Amino acid sequence: MLEHLRAPFKKLIEPLAKALISIGLTANAVTVIGTIGTIVVAFVAGITGWLFAGAVVLTLLVLADSLDGSIAKLTTGGTQFGAFLDSTLDRIADWALLAGVIVFFILHADWWYDISQSSPDYISWVGVGAAMVSMMTSFVTSYARARAESVGFEVKNGIATRADRLVIILVGMAITGLTHHGLWLAIGMVLLAVLGVATVFQRILEARRQMTAGHRTYQP
Ligand SMILES: CCCCCCCC/C=C\CCCCCCCC(=O)OC[C@H](COP(=O)(O)OP(=O)(O)OC[C@H]1O[C@@H](n2ccc(N)nc2=O)[C@H](O)[C@@H]1O)OC(=O)CCCCCCC/C=C\CCCCCCCC
Ligand SMILES: O=P([O-])([O-])O[C@@H]1[C@@H](O)[C@H](O)[C@@H](O)[C@H](O)[C@@H]1O
Ligand SMILES: [Mg+2]
Ligand SMILES: [Mg+2]
């Protein structure tokens, strides 16, 4: 859904990319720093329960994934290894964000759920289950695209591509952080799981359509 915002978003962050180039940062360095930062902050947020602060910092770190491509475009023009590194480390960042959410649900189930007088612990298990499904669909969505590309077909459709998935996770974290109600993050995870399953089906069907037609659509 948000994929069509890529071009205007890129234009918006171009000055920031130029500033990073001027202090000597390379695209690959930004890719690696962004990923390491995401892993650390996602787990710190999950363990401490500082979800709003975590969402703000993670938003900036996720931005690094857009900045690396902008830096590459302005310097080397983009490299094969850079593209490989970017997509590969994205999987680790995706894992870290959802693992951080799971850690949060497990560690903070007791004191984040004060919506009613009772302690609806089951909400945290719904959150854990949905986050686990989302982790799987996030990997399979990206794998389906990469596997199709490896045999010459472009399969990047779907209702929940990466930017959508990131926004759902970060907005869910931010709202739960602000309200102290874990229910919002659990709702976000259920939404992500449902949209993720739908996206996997959309990509499988699109791959079948293209492969049955037999016209190659992707040139590496
Ligand atoms: C600031 C405080 C806010 C506090 C709010 C807290 C709550 C959080 C609420 C909302 C969160 C919003 C999250 C924003 C999500 C952004 C999504 C995003 O950026 O995703 C990243 C992807 C990057 O994709 P990719 O890595 O594929 O592209 P690249 O451009 O990197 O290109 C890859 C090619 O580049 C080459 N290359 C790369 C690396 C390398 N080392 N070498 C290379 O050579 C190679 O050729 C590669 O092939 O971006 C997208 O998916 C684009 C879509 C973006 C849609 C954005 C939607 C934004 C929505 C809301 C914005 C909210 C405000 C955010 C703050 C903005 C501040 C300016
Ligand atoms: O396929 P998906 O996960 O929705 O979206 C993602 C793409 O938007 C991105 O360009 C690529 O670098 C990632 O590896 C990932 O594939
Ligand atoms: Mg990138
Ligand atoms: Mg990326």
Give tens-digit pLDDT for 46-70: 999 999 999 999 999 999 999 999 9
Contact 21, 11 (CB under 8 A): no
Residue 117's pLDDT is 46
Residue 65 and residue 28 in contact, taking contact as beta carbons nearer than 8 Å: no
Whether 87 shows a pLDDT value over 90: the answer reads yes
Kindly state the average pLDDT of the residues 64-79.
Answer: 97
Tens digits of residue pLDDT in 6-33: 999 999 999 999 999 999 999 999 999 9
Report pLDDT for 116.
Answer: 45
* 208 pLDDT higher than 50: yes
Asked if 71 and 20 count as a contact pair (C-beta separation under 8 A), the reply is: yes
Q: Is the CB of 65 under 6 A from ligand 1?
A: yes
SS3 readout for 143-197: HHHHHHHHCCCCCCCCCCCHHHHHHHHHHHHHHHHHHCCHHHHHHHHHHHHHHHH
At residue 108, the pLDDT reads: 86
Mean pLDDT, rounded, of the chain: 94
33 lines ligand 1 (CB under 6 A): no
Residue 111 has pLDDT above 70, yes or no: no
The whole-angstrom separation of Cα 154 and Cα 144 is 10
**pLDDT at residue 1, rounded to an integer:** 87
Percentage of the chain with pLDDT > 70?
95
Nearest protein CA to atom 8 of ligand 2, as residue: 162
pTM: 0.93
Residue with CA nearest ligand 1 atom 33: 69
- State the pLDDT at residue 115: 45
pLDDT tier at 119, thresholds 50, 70, 90: low
pLDDT digits (tens, 9 = 90+) for 175-197: 999 988 888 999 999 999 999 99
State residue 24's pLDDT score.
96
In the chain, pLDDT over 90 holds for what percent of residues? 85
- Ligand 2 within 6 A of 162 CB? yes
Active site annotation includes 90: yes
pLDDT at 45: 97
- The reply to whether 86 sits in an annotated binding site is yes
**pLDDT at position 170 over 80:** yes
